[in-house]
Chains A and B, each alone.
Chain A
């Protein structure tokens, strides 16, 4: 049995085995989690930054569902991050609702609702129309917040938020240790969900939409329903990421809705590699660490570098860092064989 997927077996058996086993956990998948845990012990003073990385991983992961799997390009994913961030922020600042975990659920529901409603209207369109409508959605939310700055705090934001201890037990420390473990736990749970979705028949149908939407229509797939479903899920996850952002930073401003934020998460995902689950991890981590280092050196230089990286990525490594590794791996395997 075990040998069939390596050497033996008829083509039929091999094909069957491939699909039967594809979704199983591989050892290499433990690596990013082990690294995340190791970071906790090696860099105990950088936990606030670490939490931010984890939040961005989650944000990029949510975009991967739409962009990497379903192949829908949007320029307004920050809308959902922002809705989540403000759900928690406003609840804490205006309603004194400071219990963190129920806050995450509220953020997921609020962002998911916004995703469902906007997605239902927008996902009929493609190309420039869709790009513009998603972009306009994020900016409209931002402008609405600015209109009612008496509630939202405008661009000054909602500073100095405090939240109840986690599960009523774990209080927040100066170094952000609690926050880091909290963010890591939430990320692990979200990741588990996303992984199930990606390997489900529904997830396969998403890749079908990405690869050839005309064919999907022709085989009877309810494409719009599939897209609205995944858009809603991705929006909810982005909302959770936004909520964690507010909770771990203890403040939020309207800049979360910025086009920059939508562009940044897309750059991270592209950098890591789209449609491959762990691209979000690699991309967000690499981007954040580089940004942290270079933007202290010179923000101008950093911006130039990001631009250059994007141009080079499009021209030479369309499948991101992970894709690059795969190609190197393929090349080495090829050489070994010959």
Chain B
């Protein structure tokens, strides 16, 4: 294969894998922010918590990697409900500032707790054999782990799309994102919907955190470092939009990967430049309501 095409395929493949990670981790944040307009800067902390649950399960208890991912998602999803009921709930009607402060505070506490328990050094996980090495896709070899991410992402997108577009609960969520007051007046319990989506969203974030260990490395600062990316995906995609979150994850994932391939020094420059351009043209994101 010619060199240029080879690089282009690599960028697309790695970018796609990265985009799937971004989508899985951010989608819950997008829906909860769309529902309640709640600025949740602790979302990255839920992802980080998921990562550490996976580390503990695999390293200390010898649980397999994939079962650990599932357990992490369930555990973190369940714990997040406690936070939602006890803390978040009080601030639904508060200002952006108070929500920002409360959730930054929670993120700081989470980082400190993780540092205390696991130390500041990045952790790794033992992967099952079938996720190591490369996989042959006929015309080229690709890293198995990234292929796994892409497949998993595609499956989750299909499931979420079905849940969102075809089920009763999905219809209620869409109605509530669209017009909360109207939804309440026709008898939809938005509070309970919110708790549900919050739990699912945090669980998915935890799954994303588990997946990120191999992809990006996991240290306590993960909670804030990648939070910015999740928020950008949400803002660029448009609050509460599944389609928008996916599109934003793809655009940002591929731009970031491409930028790092072609111009290693540029770091995150491309992601932020794209963000600024998109938001200046479409302040509510790709599919957000103006």
Q: Which residues of A contact B (CB under 8 A)?
A: 67, 73, 75, 121, 124-125, 127-129, 131-133, 135-137, 139-140, 143-144, 146-147, 149, 259-260, 263, 266-267, 270, 300-304, 306-311, 313-315, 318
Contacts and interface: CB of A to CB of B under 8 A. Distances in A.
A326 B267 CA distance: 47
Contacts of A125: 279, 283
Contact of B108 (A133, A139, A307): A307
A135 B96 CA distance: 15
Given A73-B100, A259-B224, A143 B279 contact: no
A303 B112 CA distance: 6
Q: Which 3 A-B pairs have the closest CB atoms?
A: A310-B105, A307-B108, A304-B112
Contacts of A73: 95-97, 100
B57 interface: no
Contacts of B113: 304
Contact of B280 (A67, A121, A149, A270): A121
B275 interface: yes
A136 B272 contact: yes
A318 B109 contact: no
A215 B276 CA distance: 30
Interface string B106-117: 111111110110
A308 B39 contact: no
A129 B272 contact: no
B211 to A, nearest CB: 23
A127 B289 CA distance: 13
Contacts of B33: 128
5 contacts: A140-B269, A147-B265, A304-B113, A307-B104, A311-B87
B106 A307 contact: yes
A263 B279 contact: no
B273 interface: yes
Interface stretch (B48-56, B180-188, B198-206, B232-240): B232-240
Given A129-B284, A131-B39, A259-B224, A140 B109 contact: no
Interface in B217-265: 224, 228, 231-232, 234-235, 239, 265
B109 A132 contact: no
A304 B109 contact: yes
B99 to A, nearest CB: 8
A129 B115 CA distance: 31
Nearest to A149: B265
A135 B105 contact: no
Contacts of A302: 112
Nearest to A310: B105
A318 B98 CA distance: 8
B108 A128 contact: no
B280 A311 contact: no
A212 to B, nearest CB: 13
B90 interface: yes
A208 to B, nearest CB: 16
B276 A314 contact: no
Contacts of A308: 105, 109
Nearest to B280: A121
A306 B106 CA distance: 10
- Chain A facing B: main interface SS: helix
Q: Which of A73, A139, A314 has the most CB of B within 10 A?
A: A314
Given A121-B280, A146-B265, A310-B102, A128 B234 contact: yes
B279 A132 contact: yes
Nearest to A68: B97
Interface in B86-132: 87, 90-91, 95-98, 100-102, 104-113, 115-116
A66 B233 CA distance: 26
A139 B107 CA distance: 20
Contact of A132 (B90, B235, B265, B268): B235
A328 B137 CA distance: 71
Contact of B269 (A67, A143, A260): A143
A210 B258 CA distance: 42
A127 B37 contact: yes
B284 A270 contact: no
Contact of A129 (B97, B105, B235, B269): B235
B232 A309 contact: no
B266 interface: yes
Q: Which residue among B37, B98, B268, B276 has the maximum number of chain A CB atoms within 10 Å of its CB?
A: B276
B234 A313 contact: no
Interface in B128-160: none
Contacts of A127: 37, 39, 96
A318 B91 CA distance: 12
Given A67-B97, A133-B276, A314 B39 contact: no
A230 to B, nearest CB: 17
A133 B228 CA distance: 11
Contacts of A124: 283
A301 B113 CA distance: 9
A336 B169 CA distance: 57
Contacts of A267: 101, 104
A57 B108 CA distance: 22
A128 B232 CA distance: 9
Contacts of B228: 135, 139, 259
Contact of A263 (B90, B104, B110, B275): B104
- Greatest chain B CB density within 10 A among A302, A303, A307, A313 is at A307
Contacts of B108: 303-304, 306-307, 310
A142 to B, nearest CB: 9
A124 B269 CA distance: 24
Nearest to A118: B276
B105 A311 contact: yes
